[in-house]
Amino acid sequence: MVDKKCKLTQGKIFGGSSKLNNMIHVRGNISHYVKWFHGKYNEDYFKQHLEYIEKNIFHLNNIQYQSELVDAILDAANELGYKEFGQNFRANFQKTKVTQKDGKRWTTSDKDINKYVVTNALVENVLITDSIGYGVSVHISDKIHKIFARKGVILSAGTLNTPKILQLSGIGPAELLKALKIPVIQDLPVGHNLQDHIGSGLDLILFNRTLSINAANMLNPLNLFYYLQGKGAWTTPGCEVIGFYSTKNSTNPDVQVMILPVGIASDRGSHLRKSLSITDEIWHKYFTKSFDKHTSSVFTTILHPKSKGTVYIKSKNPIIPPLVNTRYLSEKEDVDILIAGIKIAVKLIKSDSLRNIGAQINTNPFPGCSQYKFFSDRYLQCYIRHLTLTSYHYVGTCSMGLPESKNSVVDTSFKVLNVKNLYVVDGSVLPTLPSGNINAAIAMMANIFFETNIKRLPRNIHSSFQCHKYNKLHDYLFKVCSLD
């Protein structure tokens, strides 16, 4: 990748990262949620919350338009002994279930929730006195404003920016804060435990003919007519089938595959290459070799990586982004699982079902790996270390856990340890990755927080603070501050 850096995107947009994701809805392994809360709730409790958001928060639908790759992959999975699965998680394959309404993206921001939201505002830090969170300092229109909370402060800035705000507020690793001359309010492992679903297998499938979903028909203006009716190629989420399997013959899958009908090379470098930050050398030596084919991907991701990274602020200046060290593939076991996972993906590609629609494995050797026997373990190790990237599922930097644990930042009520009236509710609190795409798990966690906290938060002892009038923002800020 350009500058040897992985491009990590977050949702700086109304609706957050769910506004940018692939819309894939997966419940995951519910037993993991029980472990997150250390037995505080049973599996039925989480199922009830998932059912609630599925019926009342999200609009869930099957994909409205599919390529011929879908049925072929499901048949191939059946050849290998996998079956289709329903909402409850197990090692099998299914057509993608998506958060869409009438073929169009649906996120929680599509509900009428923007009445009291201020945009283009940068939260600089949390206001804390005597270990009580009572507001935030916010940069709006070149001015610093203080917004006071009557009941509490909820941080929901995401896995990369919530730890940044906490560290700027004096909550984080003491060694880091002291080095930046930030007074330490609480010495907590904020910014540790960064985890992500990373994967490989881009453009691994080649076809001599074009599939029904391709770069050309994505640019066809006639598809607008179908899109307005909730149909056609423009409704595709970009991932048509998801599958889960174990590389260790276990009942618990450790790999997820996402079947992408259109490969990175499909648009000849106009967009996808840039969004992934692929270097000129790799582009010309590998991806351009497939320009005469239709490319598709079996994006193979590791569900529960052992490698964990960090997110640390570099300065007291809140405008400067944090330093993110993902430490991808720093643990050998992650490499071994990806190697085994791609070998199973190759079996899918070589199945009779895929051969019947003209699929073949991409045999172009990856640059820097050609000295190894093609698709041997050593070749795949080289390939994985060159072409593994994020699926934008980062979690863990403000992990939930028991107060006595050295790894915990928030307790099982989402409250920051040893700080009253300060809560974190976003992907950063997930102590481990869910077994699949994370949107459903995060929405479920938010719903638990609302049901167990919002309805009975006590009034802040600093309720005597009054909001100030800031011109046209007064109506917004007043309602934020006065919210009961």
Q: Which residues are annotated as a binding site for FAD?
A: 123, 427
The per-residue DSSP string of 15-38 comes to: TGGGGTS--B-----HHHHHHHTT
The per-residue DSSP string of 235-270 comes to: G--S--EEEEE-TTS-SS--EEEEEESS-GGGGTTS
The per-residue DSSP string of 326-388 comes to: --TT-SHHHHHHHHHHHHHHHHHHTSHHHHTTTEEE--PPPTT-TTSPTTSHHHHHHHHHHS-
Round to whole Å and give the CA distance between 80 and 291. 30
Count CA atoms within 13 Å of residue 457 on its CB side.
24
Q: Which residues are annotated as a binding site?
A: 123, 427
Round to whole Å and give the CA distance between 70 and 94. 9
Q: How many helices (H) and strands (E) does the chain have?
A: 14, 20
Round to whole Å and give the CA distance between 408 and 398. 7
Across the strands, what pairs with 257? Answer: 243, 300
Pairing label, strands 241-245, 255-260? antiparallel
H or E segment and range at residue 126: strand 121-129
Round to whole Å and give the CA distance between 368 and 477. 56
User: Helix or strand or coil: residue 162?
Assistant: helix
Q: CB burial class (10 A; 0-12, 13-18, 19+) of residue 198?
A: buried
H or E segment and range at residue 140: strand 132-140
